[in-house]
Structures are given as C-alpha cells and as structure tokens.
Amino acid sequence: MGKRDDLIEKYAEDLRTKCEMEPDMDLLRAVTIACGPSIYNRDSSTVSGSATNELETVRDNFVMKRLGIEDREKAMGGVYSTIDTYGKSNRNKYRAVLYYLLTKHFGKEDVFAK
C-alpha cells in the first residue's frame, strides 16, 4: 500500500469512529484523489472547524464550484451540518473526510462517478 492508501484508511477510520458511519470506500477514494496533493501537506490536509474564513473557502471552492450547489446559504448550511457530524470538538478535520461528508450530504456522489 502506498501513502495515499494509508491516508484513505485513516480517513475511513475517522468516518467510522467520529461520524459513526461505514464509508463508501470507492467514493472516499475518489474524493481523496480529487483533493490532490493537499492531502500530503500537514496544513492543507485539515480544515479548522472554527475558522469562518476557512469554512467559507470550503463552501465556495468545493460545495459551490465542485458540487454545483448555487445557493450560498444552502451551501454554508451544509458545511455547518457536516462540521456537526464530524464533531465540533475535533479541532482539525481531515479535508478529504469533510469533502466526503459534504458529497454525501448534498447527494452529489455522481460528481465522482467514473
């Protein structure tokens, strides 16, 4: 297994333990690959759940651009909802896990279909 596979397993474990859900491994892999090299950088691999500007960036660059959600309020509501699912007490959340949760929240799995 390579480094990316190790990270995907770590993300799957986060979904199981912190979000209490069994991940769709194909979707998790596709979302992780879409994150690109950011998953290997300590700072960019996580998202601060309490930094409003960082959550707005997630909303703008992932939810609105990547997932195609046009309503800014709906998009931000989804971000906050997934932060709650991940657990507010977890200071830093893995970007790939948050993106996976957002994809599931909005029912946009087809964006990552092969």
CATH label of the domain that carries residue 31: 1.10.238.120
Place 110 in a pLDDT band, splitting at 50, 70 and 90: very high
Structure tokens at 14: 């986060």
**Can you say how many angstroms the Cα of residue 50 is from the centroid of all Cα atoms in its chain?**
15
Is a pLDDT exceeding 80 seen at residue 91? Answer: no
Query: How much is the pTM?
Result: 0.95
pLDDT in tens, 62-79: 999 999 999 999 999 999
Nearest to 95 by CA among 50, 57, 53, 45: 45
Place 114 in a pLDDT band, splitting at 50, 70 and 90: low
| pLDDT at res. 1 | 65
Domain range holding 45?
A: 3-112
In the Cβ-directed half-sphere of 6, how many Cα atoms lie within 13 Å? 4
Measure the CA–CA gap between 24 and 55, rounded to whole angstroms.
Answer: 24
Q: How many structural domains is the chain composed of?
A: 1
